[in-house]
Amino acid sequence: MLESAVDHAYAAALEEWRTQRIAELRRPDGWLSLAGLFWLSAGRSSFGSAPDNDIIFPADKAAPVIGDFVLEDGQVRVEIRAGVDVLHDGQPVAHLTLADDKSKSPTILTHRSLSWLVIRRDDQLGIRLRDSESPALTSFDGVPSFPVDPSWRVEAVLERYDPPRSIPVPTILGTLTPMPSPGALVFTVDGEEYRLDAFGAANGALSLIFADATTGKETYGGGRFLSVDAVDEQDRTIIDFNRAYNPPCAFTPYATCPRPPQQNRLSLAIHAGEKSFDH
């Protein structure tokens, strides 16, 4: 009776998590709204829907020429053509220096159903474009998942690195990004021991970027992500692979995602969590 109640509570909590996950993806500014990613070169880049612009926005969504992005000294400013409506916090913009996504308050500009901001990836600066009326949003009907299996909720121990390490993590851009790791989470499945380097702060929630034997088959070829609760006083926590989820790059070509480092590629087939998303 107690076991049944626990199973029911677990399934209900997992279903609530999945519902929230889908709601996040359905947001008008979520990953499914991405409509473009344009890396900037030094100097001036015109943008708008006309095909002779340096940066071409969707033809039916924008004015032929909206203005120019100017990249100088590691900063981007925008200059808007007269008569074109571009807003920042609801106010018209003529020219503005743009704070990128690594700042506390990135500058987001809007034009009709489009919005954009500057993203910084290592030494590259680019324009990330969103469309709140994206067809990907309107056609989205969820993400397939494996059936819930409580046996994929496994106990893990954090084997700490002393000192904590900075681990180079590959990205979809072909670069390596250093990420802080307090240690590896070690767990056992069917009598075999496995380990995954975890990322984050030693005393806080941890994140995993991993691949397994289902990667590129039942699940997304770029691996999956997983959030893990902070460890207890004995450095123990629970890895719930039923909550493994697809990275943004599974949904759009305009995201910039980390990929699993080699040591986080498991021989184990993890039939839990989200499956591949079919566009």
Residues 38-70 have pLDDT tens digits of 999 999 999 999 999 999 999 999 999 999 999
For residue 3, what pLDDT is reported?
45
Phi-psi region of 5 (alpha: psi -120 to 50; beta: other; left: phi over 0): alpha
Q: Pick out the chain residues at pLDDT < 70.
A: 1-6, 279
pTM, two decimal places: 0.90
Backbone angles phi, psi at 161, to 5 degrees: -90, 135
pLDDT at position 98 is 98
Domains detected in the chain? 32-138 (2.60.200.20), 142-264 (no CATH)
What is the share, in percent, of the chain residues with pLDDT greater than 70? Answer: 97
